[in-house]
Structure 1
Amino acid sequence: MEQTGILDQVKQVVSDTFGVSVGSLTAETTANDVEGWDSVAHLIFINGIESAFGVRLPMQQALDVSNLGDMAKLVQDVRQA
């Protein structure tokens, strides 16, 4: 799956997790842009990403992603490893 498809799926996880419209999300969307996305919610988001993609993300890298595009790139990198 190319990164665009991965980004679309990452957006869907955000939408499902936080109840926001997929259309309001971009690769540049950060946790600060989404109401209710705090450190605890970020762990729930990471779990959702791992479930959606069937991967185990390196926790420190997953905690350090700055936007949805970075999360899509991390998922792509983990899937290719």
Structure 2
Amino acid sequence: MGGIGPWQIIIVAVLVILLFGRGKISHLMGDVAKGITSFRKGMKEGAEELSDEPKNLSNNSTIDGEVVKSEEKSSEKSDA
């Protein structure tokens, strides 16, 4: 009861081929390959977005806009 040996893997592989057929398995493996390719593409795009993010923060427009909005709100409260 140590673990899964090579004969058990071969038996399971033969049973899967008999149950599903070669065409269905090859179609399934093609879908798996497309999923892996899509995942890698997404990871690459995510890494590019993260590397572009510090460049977008250098103009400080978001921080200035937030400060102006909070100052406007405080002046509106004092007027009321």
Short-chain TM bin: under 0.3
User: Which of the pair has the greater relative contact order for Cα pairs under 8 Å at 6+ separation?
Assistant: 1
- TM-score scaled by length of structure 1: 0.26
Q: Which has the higher helix share?
A: 2
